Amino acid sequence: MRIADWDDAYANRDHIHGAAQYIDRWPVAARAFRDGLASAGRARLDHAYGPAPRQRLDLFAPDGAARGLVVFVHGGYWMAFDKSVWSGFAAGAVAAGWAVAVPSYTLAPAARIAEMTREIAAAVAEAARLVPGPVRAAGHSAGGHLVARLTCADSTLAPAVRDRLAHVVPISGLHDLRPLLRTAMNATLGLDPVAAAAESPALLTPREGVRVTTWVGGDERPEFLRQSALLANVWTGLGADMASVVDPGTHHFSVIDGLGSADSALTRCLLG
């Protein structure tokens, strides 16, 4: 299908009934989860992983020794939100015995996407310093892009941490950034053709030894289904340990709900 309106192709809110209700409830659930773990002495909040104001992460601990570390990277088209909105999506992995780090990162236009990929690598490295054991990463939408970048051969993630990164799950990720050059949001993102290609995981080589599962909602915009299928297809052809899941009946905002439960298919996939 030929796309004539690229802004509409990526306009999730306009095509999800009750979209505002999802966005409004995320920070409420996040605050309740964060406050509950903080009162139990199981939350380390606003921990710095770099000198910039948004280079901060929240780290949530399970009840008992952690089985390892999960990092969840939020979306918002690299332009919106911070870690405080997303704490509730750590609940499933924490209940399953894993520590979970939720970082903020510098947003556009203050930072370019290449800078954000380096910030997330730094956040993962710092969280891994605090928590021993295997590392898993998930990210939603723009966050899906950022965790996919961790698995590229040119990632700035330190070798010792790369060796611990066992599974990455980009959820409804954006893996070829070149179409965004045709959108109005690029006035804020500041991409040019060279930068878009350089930061597109689907155009890059995956690192050997890491497992990647793309996860996307079955009721998402066609462009998000295409983007997830593209990464799975290309990286499978390059020999990566790839899997691809289309989650039936979920859209761009509901597809991450499973992260709030330890026994959901999404959480079990991430931790498996």
pLDDT digits (tens, 9 = 90+) for 5-29: 999 999 999 999 999 999 999 999 9
> pLDDT tens across 204-253, in order?
999 998 899 999 999 999 999 999 999 999 999 999 999 999 999 999 99
Is 172 strand, coil or helix? coil
Residue carrying the six token digits 């710092």 = 126
Query: Amino acid identity, residue 17?
Result: H
In what helix (H) or strand (E) does residue 44 lie, and over which residues does it extend?
strand 43-48
Q: Name the percent of the chain in helix, strand, coil, to the closest 5.
A: 45, 20, 40
**Strand-strand pairing, 43-48 and 56-60:** antiparallel
* Mean pLDDT value across the chain: 97
Query: pLDDT class for 2, splitting at 50, 70, 90?
Result: confident
How far is the CA of 224 from the CAs of 16, 129, 231, 244, 257, in angstroms? 14, 33, 11, 13, 17
Does the pLDDT at position 1 exceed 80?
Answer: no
195 CB contacts (<8 Å, ≥6 apart)? Answer: 112, 113, 114, 177
What average pLDDT score do residues 29-39 get? 98
Closest Cα to residue 119, out of 153, 157, 87, 173? 157
Q: Is the pTM higher than 0.75?
A: yes
pLDDT at residue number 138: 98
- pLDDT, tens digit (0-9, with 9 covering 90-100), for 90-145: 999 999 999 999 999 999 999 999 999 999 999 999 999 999 999 999 999 999 99
